[in-house]
Amino acid sequence: MNTDSSESGLPKWIAIAGGGVVVLILALLFFPRGKSDEPDDGSPGTDGALVASDAECDRMLADIFDGLLPERLGLTSDRESLLRELTIWWSDCGELFEDRSGGENVELIQRLLDDEEAQRALRDSFARRDLDHIRNALLVRTAAEHVTLDASDDVERAVLLFNYVVRNVALLPGDSAGLALTPFETLLLGQGTADDRAWVFAELLRQLRIDAVVLEPAEGDWGPARIVGVVIPGESVRLFDCALGLPLPGPEATGVLVDRPATLTEVKEDDQFLRTLDFPGAVYPLASEEFDALKVLLVGHSSTFAPRMEALQADAPVGFEAELYDGLAANEFHEQGLYDRVAEAGQNAEAWTGEDIGVWQYPGLQYDRFEAGEAESNELVKARLAILEQAPVTLQAEQLADGSIEQTVERPKRPLQFSRIRQIEGDYADAMSGYLNARIAPTHSPHPINQGAAADAIFWVGVIKYEQGEYKVAADTLRQYLVTYRGHYWNTVARYLLALSLAQQGQTAEGAQLLSAAAGETGVPRNWLYLARKWRDAGN
Same domain, 256 and 361: yes
Closest CA to 211 of 190, 236, 176, 180: 236
Three-class HEC string of 36-62: CCCCCCCCCCCCCCCCCCHHHHHHHHH
Calpha distance 405→403 (Å, rounded): 7
Is 441 domain-assigned? yes
Same domain, 365 and 471: no
Higher pLDDT, 176 or 291: 291
For residues 153 and 159, the answer to whether their CB atoms sit within 8 Å is: no
In CATH, what number is assigned to the domain containing residue 452? 1.25.40.10
Is 182 domain-assigned? yes
Same domain, 196 and 328: yes
Same domain, 119 and 178: yes
Calpha distance 450→432 (Å, rounded): 16
Is 105 domain-assigned? yes
Identify the pLDDT of residue 102: 66
Give the amino acid at 384: R
Calpha distance 88→49 (Å, rounded): 8
Q: What is the pLDDT of residues 360-410, one digit of tens each?
A: 999 999 999 999 999 888 888 889 999 999 999 998 877 677 777 777 888
Provide the whole-model pTM.
0.88
Residues 6+ apart with CB under 8 A from 32: 50, 51, 91, 92, 93
For residues 538 and 254, the answer to whether their CB atoms sit within 8 Å is: no
Calpha distance 81→64 (Å, rounded): 9
Model confidence at 16: pLDDT above 70: no
For residues 392 and 445, the answer to whether their CB atoms sit within 8 Å is: yes
Calpha distance 17→222 (Å, rounded): 77
Same domain, 333 and 434: no
Calpha distance 455→482 (Å, rounded): 10
* pLDDT band with cut points at 50, 70 and 90 for residue 42: very low
- Mean per-residue pLDDT for 210-225? 94
Considering the chain, what percentage of its residues have pLDDT values greater than 70?
A: 87
Same domain, 316 and 433: no
Count of H helices and E strands in the chain? 24, 10
Domain edge (last residue) among 321, 346, 375: 375
Is 230 domain-assigned? yes
Is 111 domain-assigned? yes
Model confidence at 25: pLDDT above 90: no
Q: What is the pLDDT of residues 500-524, one digit of tens each?
A: 999 999 999 999 999 988 755 556 7
Same domain, 434 and 366: no
Q: What is the pLDDT of residues 441-462, one digit of tens each?
A: 999 999 999 999 999 999 999 9
Model confidence at 215: pLDDT above 70: yes
Same domain, 224 and 337: yes
Identify the pLDDT of residue 521: 52
Domain edge (last residue) among 348, 375, 402: 375
Same domain, 276 and 370: yes
Q: What is the pLDDT of residues 258-314, one digit of tens each?
A: 999 999 999 999 999 999 999 988 899 999 999 999 999 999 999 999 999 999 999
Is 293 domain-assigned? yes
Number of domains in the chain: 2
Is 400 domain-assigned? no
Which helix (H) or strand (E) segment holds residue 398: the answer is: strand 394-399
Closest CA to 514 of 495, 531, 530, 501: 495
Which helix (H) or strand (E) segment holds residue 475: the answer is: helix 471-484
393 DSSP assignment? P
Q: Does residue 163 sit in helix, strand or coil?
A: helix
Identify the pLDDT of residue 10: 43
Same domain, 172 and 310: yes
Domain edge (last residue) among 323, 349, 375: 375
Cβ neighbours around 313 below 10 Å, total:
21
Lowest mean pLDDT of 54-68, 346-360, 402-416, name the range: 402-416
- Mean per-residue pLDDT for 200-218? 98
Residues 6+ apart with CB under 8 A from 195: 226, 242, 362
Identify the pLDDT of residue 539: 75
Q: What is the pLDDT of residues 398-419, one digit of tens each?
A: 767 777 777 788 888 899 999 9
Same domain, 364 and 465: no
Higher pLDDT, 521 or 239: 239
Is 68 domain-assigned? no
Domain range for 495:
412-538
Same domain, 330 and 425: no
Angle at which helices 448-467 and 154-168 cross, to 10°: 160
Identify the pLDDT of residue 49: 46
Exposure string for 283-305, b = 16+ CB within 10 A, e = fewer: ebebebebbeebbbbbbbbbbbb
Identify the pLDDT of residue 406: 74
Q: Does residue 153 sit in helix, strand or coil?
A: coil
Q: What is the pLDDT of residues 117-163, one digit of tens each?
A: 999 999 999 999 999 999 999 999 999 999 999 999 999 999 999 99
* DSSP code per residue over 206-248: HHTT-EEEEEEESSS--TT--EEEEE-TTS-EEEEETTTTEEP
Average pLDDT, the chain: 88
